Amino acid sequence: MNIGVIGCGYWGPNLIRNFNAMDNTTVVAVADKRKERLEFISKQFPSIKTLTTEANEILQSPKIDAIVIATPVSTHFPLGMEALAHGKHLLLEKPFTATVEQAEKLIEEAEKRNLRLMVDHTFIYTGAVQTIKKYIDNGDLGELYYFDSVRVNLGLFQHDVNVIWDLAPHDVSIMDYLLERKPKAISATGMAHFDSSIENIAYISTYYENNLLGHIHVNWLAPVKVRKTLISGSKKMIIYDDMEPSEKVKVYDKGVDIIKDKEQIYDMRVQYRTGDMIAPQIDLTEALKKISQEFYDAINENRDSLTDGKAGLRVVQILEAANKSIKANGKVIEL
């Protein structure tokens, strides 16, 4: 399968490396507006013969079966639509699109043409998230109470999108995948500093049925890098720390039991459970390797991928609502 990649700044080269490493796919062409990036690609991957500053050359090439787009989010929709219009299967970087409307249009276009449309929600393909998913699906955590995620570091300040569009797609996509339900409502607060209108810190709350609460904290102005998620249920709790080299997931047999006294119905006793902690073995295969394989398999088997356009849309719905809420000082936005 011949792959064309558009955008080879920071992230694109990782996609090129993984698609080139696979037996069934070859990156035959790369486009980037910046010549220096193409020179870098020519040194790293000398087998790629077509290197162009014109994305159209790739979008229109009859030799190319599928296109991978790793450009800034504002370009995802126009480039993606063009790729689909030329009959190419499409893998788009996160965030899928800049608006819900764009996401819906891409999905419609791909369906009309029976083309595969996928989004790179990288973390879904990590061993850590796959392990957590198994615990939740097996019912090991019991009834879910909350999902609480922190993703903070110093920089990289973006010029075109705020911290929500930059960092939160990761947490929102993980939350969407693990919880498998849509929030009823969202509220968010955020702040822009340095005479800019682009928020560099934000807190997003998502409200679900049955008292399940989601919370995401993203920040470009933190002294240290933190990537930590807490998931709590009635039976067990999980801490997922992506900065840990090996024991990324820890499952705690901890919680509280409420004992209601039958004689005095208003008397509630809280009993704390503190059992063992286990750190399950997790698969450390690079997520992008699995994404490349999934994209190829979905095309080959003519099926939806694990992170298809609809997954991209669900995440964009939350990001868009969070941004609306920030502009309205934290107003609750019903979904």
Query: Which residue is it, tokens 């704390």?
Result: 272
Contact between 31 and ligand NAD per CB under 6 A: yes
Contact between 34 and ligand NAD per CB under 6 A: yes
Contact between 320 and ligand NAD per CB under 6 A: no
Contact between 37 and ligand NAD per CB under 6 A: yes
Rounded to a whole number of angstroms, the minimum distance from the CB of residue 334 to ligand NAD is 28
Contact between 81 and ligand NAD per CB under 6 A: no
- Say how far apart CA 54 and CA 59 lie, in whole Å: 9
Which residues, listed in sequence order, are joined to residue 271 by a DSSP beta bridge? 257
Tokens of 312: 């991209």
Contact between 70 and ligand NAD per CB under 6 A: yes
- Give the residue closest to ligand NAD by C-beta: 9
The DSSP result for 171-225, as a single string, is HHHHHHHHH-S--SEEEEEEE--TT-SS-SEEEEEEE-STT-EEEEEEESEEEEE
Contact between 57 and ligand NAD per CB under 6 A: no
Q: Which is nearer to ligand NAD, 9 or 330 (CB)?
A: 9
Dihedral (C-alpha) 121, 126, 132, 135: value to the nearest 10 degrees?
110
Contact between 225 and ligand NAD per CB under 6 A: no
Contact between 142 and ligand NAD per CB under 6 A: no
Contact between 93 and ligand NAD per CB under 6 A: yes
The DSSP result for 273-313, as a single string, is EEEEEE--------HHHHHHHHHHHHHHTT---TTBHHHHH
Contact between 109 and ligand NAD per CB under 6 A: no
Task: Tell me which residues touch ligand NAD (CB under 6 A).
Answer: 6-7, 9-12, 31-34, 37, 55, 70-73, 75, 93-94, 120, 122
